[in-house]
A and B are shown apart, each in its own frame.
Chain A
């Protein structure tokens, strides 16, 4: 774990302790469980966002990839448990496909990542609205299949184990495999990586594809959590994913960062919101403080980097 990830963990710990002191019940398992579940959604999207940020890219298509996957899931699953495997496959497949197209556009056609993924976001938004005819699935009666909802039941909900699995997957991929090494090399210096035999384009495409997959996974989990898909479900997650990545100590320029840091970043963001809400800070105040906290953390990182 690098120094910046260690800072991110420390910041998360401080915020959580502060929460425990300020609001009773926060430190209890039910309180913590709620924070963890909400943080897991940010954690999924931020996993994908981190992967593309590691090579100096960005994925702005997360909101509607997430939303499209959620709609695909509910409209193909129809709330029936026996249709769930098919629905899951289609939802994840849709996310991977969107990510693949993003990756091909960025790596092979040379479209700037901001333009490519923003365009993808718009296309998916239009497509989703068109196909669903603007109706949320609450109205059309397509609910989350029961097994998906069960992920959020129990003292230790299975959803958290899914997050743990995702965390292990990302961490192993990045630290133990040749692919991970190529990711960091590409992010650190794409030209030097290319001249050392790294298939920079292939790596880039794979990462955008994975980001699409993670956005879809977040969409699936959100359907299970809320019981249904709604339009606009993914809207908060663009900001959340980028904020979690940056607060998690991942260099926005690429080449540096770990998922441990991003988990800490996700927890920090959710804990700050939860504490503020518990303190009954009004909405406008919450938003301002939230923004200021992120700025303060980034300011601290910036100073730290100057001493590197």
Chain B
């Protein structure tokens, strides 16, 4: 009953999720994995439990293994009972499933593990998220495993359910099992774990019996904040560009803030606290339940003239224009741009040409009666591609998929620079991008701010938010939990504000 990983490496696409990572857990211990988003914890668990294969290194896991993944694995259309007994349903003669006994057996299991509050006949999709998590955990516990992997098991649980789970984890440990879990809540790690291994950038940086929160944060974030980031302190934010009031959408709860011209406003917090909902909703791709958004447009000057020399409708000050965003098209018209995190899924059209990709958001501007003005398009695209040094002199007629990851991201940026938007929503734009391109992107962002653009910036690397932003909003459970005046400088402050439990909770 041992768990050992030595020198494990694993890449997804171009991104090295694990590099030379080592880990060992003993029987009869609760071992926590700590680290920021993308540090490699989930990947390590997937490698250890055999869900994915490592590229390099050796993995030895002995005993009966059970895993609760971060992404819930319940089948939504089956009932709780069917989900619980999926692997070994009660069978009658001829090996057919005895449906009459399914619910009874499931009820027995649920009550044995202290979760009798869940109706075994209810379809999984009708359960609340916390109940789904409970069923998932019962499924894992019922296997009475020797080795248990729990990836973020408490993220969806309420306090009482966390106590319930803690009891089971201790019971398994005392029975000699090896319990490995991850959590973003430091209090839980402190309370439950016998040992902690900290991950950063895909590798293990420390394994300790005792670790203070401060030490952990330092280990998790590293302290390498050199001259990587442009100095934004001399860029002085001007008047308001975008005002959000009481926005409730997806996970977001009554979020209000103001974003000013020339300001880089960071959005921090742990993963999945509503950051994505915020960005998508501001871009018209969310489903807001309540809230108000107003945009103040830039004065004159920078708008691109339309074909026949008439001034663009975008020139001139349009104060406090309340915006109704039904779809991204409306947001683009209102002068908002969104650069997504996952350029392959949400940004690029890989087998279309670089030019088609860059021109996509501004097609109508270079057209006459619906016909594309190809010469104007070529000029605009080569201009911006040259400025950002995309593809090193390669023809823009080549497929976007032939570009390297960094250049692909620059091509997506170029598309939005052409829109001449006032507000840029940058959602994890440096993810999976090489160091040199990251550097270029940081300076590009600072240049945008210098030009008076308003920038909302989220990154899964908290360090970037600390290094680049004038001000940081920390989201927790959909609400603004803290507003940190900037420049913040160090990631620890943001991480601390993200995981510190509110005093009144």
**In whole Å, how far is A247's beta carbon from the nearest beta carbon of chain B?**
20
Question: Which A residues touch B346, using CB under 8 A?
Answer: 191-192, 195
| A194 with B327, Cβ < 8 A, contacts A177-B372, A188-B351, A189-B350 known | yes
Instruction: State in angstroms the CA–CA spacing of A178 and B359 once bound together.
Output: 10
| A255 with B327, Cβ < 8 A, contacts A182-B363, A184-B356, A194-B285 known | no
- What is the count of residue pairs linking A and B with beta-carbon distances less than 8 angstroms? 71
Question: Which A residues touch B348, using CB under 8 A?
Answer: 189, 192
**In whole Å, how far is B172's beta carbon from the nearest beta carbon of chain A?**
42
Partner of B328, one of A178, A188, A197, A256: A197
Question: Which B residues touch A286, using CB under 8 A?
Answer: none
Contact across chains for B332 and A188 when beta carbons are under 8 A apart: no
A93 at the binding interface (Cβ < 8 Å):
no
Q: B350, B351, B361: which has the most chain A beta carbons within 10 Å?
A: B351
B53 at the binding interface (Cβ < 8 Å):
no
Partner of B338, one of A176, A188, A189, A195: A195
Interface readout for B314-355 with A: 1 if CB under 8 Å, 0 if not? Answer: 000000000000011100100000101000011111111000
Question: Which A residues touch B329, using CB under 8 A?
Answer: 197-199
Question: Which B residues touch A176, using CB under 8 A?
Answer: 371-372
Contact across chains for B352 and A255 when beta carbons are under 8 A apart: yes
Within 8 A of B (CB), among A243-301: 255-256
A149 at the binding interface (Cβ < 8 Å):
no
Contact across chains for B370 and A177 when beta carbons are under 8 A apart: yes
Main secondary structure of the interface of A (DSSP, over half): helix
B415 at the binding interface (Cβ < 8 Å):
yes
Q: B329, B349, B415: which has the most chain A beta carbons within 10 Å?
A: B349
**In whole Å, how far is B259's beta carbon from the nearest beta carbon of chain A?**
20
**In whole Å, how far is B180's beta carbon from the nearest beta carbon of chain A?**
35
A18 at the binding interface (Cβ < 8 Å):
no
B367 at the binding interface (Cβ < 8 Å):
yes
B424 at the binding interface (Cβ < 8 Å):
no
**In whole Å, how far is A50's beta carbon from the nearest beta carbon of chain B?**
17
B444 at the binding interface (Cβ < 8 Å):
no
Contact across chains for B328 and A196 when beta carbons are under 8 A apart: yes
| A178 with B370, Cβ < 8 A, contacts A196-B361, A197-B332, A256-B351 known | yes
CB closest chain-A residue, reference B367:
A178
B360 at the binding interface (Cβ < 8 Å):
yes
Within 8 A of B (CB), among A174-192: 176-179, 181-182, 184-185, 188-189, 191-192
Instruction: State in angstroms the CA–CA spacing of A188 and B370 once bound together.
Output: 21
Question: Which B residues touch A198, using CB under 8 A?
Answer: 329, 360
> In the complex, given contacts A178-B370, A194-B328, what are 13 additional A-B residue pairs having Cβ atoms less than 8 angstroms apart?
A177-B367, A177-B370, A178-B371, A181-B360, A188-B351, A192-B345, A192-B349, A195-B328, A195-B346, A196-B328, A199-B327, A199-B329, A255-B349
9 tightest CB-CB pairs across the interface, nearest first?
A188-B349, A197-B329, A178-B363, A197-B332, A196-B360, A196-B361, A178-B367, A189-B349, A177-B370
